[in-house]
Structure 1
Amino acid sequence: MSPRTLVVGGGLAGLLAARRHQRAGHRVVLLEASGGLGGAIADRTLPGAGALALNAGAEAYSTASGAVDELVAELGLGEAVRAPREGLGSRIVSAAGVHRAPAGSLLGVPGRPLAADVRAVLGTAGSLRAALEPLLPARYGVRPGATVAETVRRRLGRRVLERLVAPVVGGVHSADPASLELAAASPQLAKGLAEHGSLVRTVRRLRGTGRGAPAGASAGTRVHSLDPTMAALPAALSAQVLGAGGIVRTGTAVTGLSREDGLWQVRTGRGETLAAEHLVLACPPDTARTLLAGTVPEISAAIPEAPSAAVRLVALVLDEAALDAFPSGTGALVAPGTPGIRAKALTHASAKWEHVQQALREALPAAAHPHLVRLSYGRPGEQLPGREEIVDLALADASAILGMQLGRAQLLDAAVIDWDRAMRQARPGHRAALETLTALLAEREDLDLVGAWRAGTGLDAIVRADRAAADRSTTAHSAPTHSAPTEGHHR
């Protein structure tokens, strides 16, 4: 009989792992504690906006490697892929004001520090300081486990850190650059710095922004989304797992693990015990650490601390003619400490995505100028605004970022969405801890740990990690003929 694999966690990483083990000929059971699949990929319906469906979590994926585009095509979702509206770019908001985000940057590090769009944010002095970075000794500001803030401040100066890098780290990683490890936040930058001795030269190589090269794509445009929402991705993966005979159970929390007679014994909150030859933990790192502590304590202890940052999103459906001009392009990232603004990021979804604007027009035919704007809150160490006050705060912040007065008079509907455990903080030592954990896991074929805390931030990183796992498995073993049961179950 084919071996059984039990996957704990139904986010993107768990669904991909379930599919991968099915392709290796395993019988798969996936358990998800919550009532739905997809993890940080989810949608939400706004009843006050004509039952409009909007992204409640991840709204897009990076196209840098092409991995997610290939996955989407494999799943038959190619016709649902949408690219952002061209020519808009995004904005950086700081004490210096609102400026177009510099093109050809990575994690906020500019490839051309003296370019006009960089000078507009940093000022001449800040740009000149950053332009000196390639002349610094290669090891300056570099050490194992160095934080983003430590390396960027020393090599590029305070203004690059505060006005360019901190907004990206806060908005994309929900982290503080002073506690986020550079090697975990951007392996490309860390590797390039080690190889080329310069962050600026690394960005130029990766973004093609050297002297005489084009400026590169506008910030925030190297992404795709799905129509109507990104929730189509986990739905398609789940359907594929079920169609190949897998069992998917939501509302089923795992409460304990043990090893008996060469099998994993998995206890659930329903009072049952399930046995499996292979176990995949696609759950948060703290949960994995607790579950494994009594069975494989050396692996449990190797799982790095990666605390989560709570994020509160506010989606605003507005009717305002001035928004038709897309005043902040696709959106904006806000530097910490920017006077008068508590939001860390704003996405003008109906400006960024034509399919969102079309959906708004169809859902709200009576609205003359419908728009969807989404703001996010929650920096590390910061108390989240209360749910009762946050809609008015979001309207005030949107007004400041977009440069117009927005209030309840223009508001058609709003949604407040909380994510408590989605964003993980890679602290100093994270990359080294992962290397130790990977070495321990390589010694056994019956256990794997997957998720963004191992793969990195973003859907692209998770998909690439799953691909790498599949390649390692194919190399180590001849792939068995796929023979799955014909009946799938989803309870």
Structure 2
Amino acid sequence: MSGDVLVIGGGLAGLLAARRHQAAGRRVVLLEAADEVGGAIAAQDLADCPINSGAEAYSISAGAVDALAAELGLEEQIVSPREGLGSRLVSAAGVHRAPAAALLGVPARPLARDVRAVLGWPGALRAALEPLLPARLGSRDGATVAQVIQRRLGRRVLERLVAPVIGGVHSTDPASTEFAAAAPQLATGLREHGSLVRTVRHLRGRSTSSAGTRVHSLAPTMAALPAALREQLLAGGALLRTGTPATSVERTEHTWRVRTAGGEHLETAHLVLACPPDITRDLLAEAAPAISTAIPQAPSARVRLVALLLDAPALDAFPSGTGALVAPGTPGIRAKALTHASAKWEHVARQLHEALPELTAPHLVRLSYGRPGEELPDREGLVDLALADAAAILRTPLTRKHLHDAAVIDWDRAMRQRLPGHRAALTRLTETLAAEPTLELVGSWRSGTGIDAILRAENAPTTSDSAATSPTRKEGNP
């Protein structure tokens, strides 16, 4: 079996790369080690209700994912969050509404009432001084999120606004995450505007919505997206093989030769590796050692999710809006984030009521655990821990008597840490890849976290077909 293009990895980045090559008229073979394509965009049933077991939404800032969904015939399945709820930030200062007009937790208006509620007057006044500071302060290459934010905006902004976002959304530690890699818009804006506050004002304008509401999802779950991509690829003649890990890659004079765990040897003129960076590095160690060593270290953060299906009339008031992000070290709470899915998404609430008419007030709440450097809580007793954390975050008594069903979901490789020097390493990797135009490396470790980031990277000029007219060794795209 062979094809013009062989894609290893059936997550979103791999599916999109396969789609691009198929649209250019090439025969595509895709191998996925798991039993299903989609990677971290996945779903499962909980008490006969479909729920997201991975990514549950996507950013609409660029409009790229909405456009793709429409192209795939999913336009009528696009859903928006319930209006007017907002999200919450939980810290030692208490539970507060997440400030509007913020980016990565950096506020556009540090003296606004919602920011003062979280920071207090001392923290808000310290942040308000940021536009007066020299632009060079905190802007050195390779600086971490913690270094930049604390120097420019102060400790309270770091601990109460930025750390919950970095930990809850990106599963990283601000003290070890490169600022330019985690927040490229802010890093660029700091150079252009000389201030993070002015940058957020420029990017967010007069927006009064919190970041958690600037998203869309798909009904019934986000798994509709990889499913539609899969069907489109199959309809176009692509061959998709799940449960087929690749174990080694060899370089011949004109082709790439891939060996699978089943002992098969597949040859292709153009190879796309849509794998985690450590797997990609190992696969290329002998076939392309210069490229292998150029791949930056991006260790994964293990994440453990707990989905709670509750019968709790008190949650009908949506006490924490769409959910909450929790600052590290918050007393009495171990979870790093909570999503009140049935509050955030009307279609989820509707599905629960339709599937579970015997419940008085069905609600779906999802909590996540796992910060870098922390041990994951044991699966045994985790549901009770999640109930206690949910009760604290939602400020509502929740016990086993409210629990209808629960699921514990582990993700070991989905979230990548962008260590200091990550952006510079990616630049060097891109330069090295230019010598191998028939090899592509794609994935969130290059594009950034999130569905929108992966799609924007796929649509960028470096992955367009302008450089590839046929799958020969001298033609193709990096």
- Tell me if both proteins adopt one fold, taking TM over 0.5 as the criterion: yes
Q: Is structure 2 residue 182 aligned with structure 1 residue 185?
A: yes
Task: State the one-letter code of the partner of 1:434.
Answer: L
* Alignment check: 8 A CA contact 1:330 1:351 kept: yes
Output one character per residue of 1:23-66: Cα deviation in whole Å (capped at 9) or x when no partner.
122110000011111000000111xx2x1110000000000000
Aligned to 2:476: none
- The answer on whether the counterparts of 2:3 and 2:267 sit within 8 Å (CA) in structure 1 is no
For residues 351-371 of structure 1, the C-alpha deviation after alignment (integer angstroms, 9 at most, x for no partner) is 000000000001110101000
User: Does residue 1:9 correspond to 2:1, yes or no?
Assistant: no
2:409 to 407, 410, 417: 417
2:372 to 380, 389, 403: 380
The partner residue of 1:206 within 193, 203, 206 is 203
2:135 to 127, 135, 138: 138
1:330-368 deviations in Å (ceiling 9; x for gaps): 000000000000000000000000000000001110101
Inter-CA distance 69–215: structure 2 relative to 1 (3 Å threshold) = closer
In structure 2, what is the Cα distance between the partners aligned to 1:195 and 1:273? 51
Instruction: Note if 1:154 corresponds to 2:151.
Output: yes
Q: CA RMSD in A?
A: 1.2
Structure 2: how far apart are the matches of 1:477 and 1:422?
Answer: 30
Give the whole-Å Cα distance in 2 for the aligned partners of 1:473 and 1:307.
Answer: 31
Identify the residue that residue 457 of structure 1 maps to in structure 2: 449
State yes or no: 1:286 paired with 2:278: yes
Structure 1 segments unaligned to the other structure (5+ residues): 209-213, 481-491
CA gap of 1:80–1:70, structure 2 versus 1, over 3 A, is same
State how far apart, in whole Å, the 2-side matches of 1:479 and 1:220 are.
42
Give the alignment's TM-score, normalised by structure 1. Answer: 0.94
- What residue is the counterpart of 1:370 in the other structure? 362
CA offset at residue 478 of structure 1? 5.7
Counterpart in the other structure of 2:475: none
Partner Cα separation in structure 1 for residue 215 and residue 453 of structure 2: 13
Alignment partners' CA distance in 2, 1:469 and 1:89: 36
State the Cα distance separating 1:215 from its structure 2 match: 4.6
d(CA) in 2 for partners of 1:235, 1:413: 26
Count of matched residue pairs: 470
1:364-400 per-position Cα deviation (integer Å, ceiling 9, x unaligned):
1010100000000000010011111110000000000
* Cross-structure match for 1:60: 57
CA distance in 1, matches of 2:470, 2:194: 42
State how far apart, in whole Å, the 2-side matches of 1:278 and 1:254 are: 15
CA–CA separation in structure 1 for the residues paired with 2:374 and 2:262: 37
The 5-angstrom pairing of residues 83-94 of structure 1 reads 83-94=80-91
Task: Give 3-state SS (helix, strand or coil) of 1:177's partner.
Answer: coil
Between the aligned partners of 2:95 and 2:116, the Cα distance in structure 1 is 13
Identity %: 70
* Contact 2:312–2:402 (Cα < 8 Å) also in 1: yes
CA distance in 2, matches of 1:12, 1:45: 21
Aligned pairs (5 A) from 1:69-468: 69-208=66-205, 214-468=206-460
User: Residue by residue, what CA displacement relative to the aligned partner does 1:111-169 show, whole Å, maximum 9, x if unpaired?
Assistant: 10000000000000000000000000010111001100000000000000000000000
CA distance in structure 2 between the partners assigned to 1:25 and 1:468 by the alignment:
20
Q: Deviation per CA, 1:55-96: give whole Å up to 9, x if none.
A: 000000000000000000000000000000000000000000
| Secondary structure of residue in 2 paired with 1:184 | helix
Shift of the alpha carbon at 1:285? Answer: 0.2
Contact 1:20 1:470 in 2 (8 A): no
Give every structure 1 segment of 4 or more consecutive aligned residues whose post-TM-superposition deviation is greater than 6 Å: none
Aligned counterpart, 1:27 = 27
More deviation in 181-190 or 158-167?
181-190
Aligned-partner SS, 2:405: strand
Q: What is the identity, as a one-letter code, of the residue corresponding to 2:24?
A: A
Paired AA for residue 92 in structure 2:
A
Specify whether residues 239 and 4 from structure 1 end up closer, same or farther in structure 2 by C-alpha distance, changes over 3 A only: same
- Please give the alpha-carbon distance, in whole angstroms, between the structure 1 residues aligned to 2:427 and 2:462: 19
Matched residue SS, 2:213? coil
| Equivalent AA in structure 2 for residue 196 of structure 1 | H
Give the whole-Å Cα distance in 2 for the aligned partners of 1:477 and 1:426.
Answer: 30
Q: Secondary structure at the match of 2:212?
A: coil
Residue identity in the other structure for 1:20: R
User: What does the per-residue CA deviation read over 1:426-454, in whole Å, with 9 as the maximum and x for residues that have no partner?
Assistant: 00000000001111112322100000000
CA pair 84-265 structure 1, distance change in 2 beyond 3 A: same
Deviation at 1:479? Answer: 8.4
Q: Does 1:43 align with 2:43?
A: yes
Provide structure 2 residue ranges, at least 5 long, that are not aligned to the other structure.
472-478
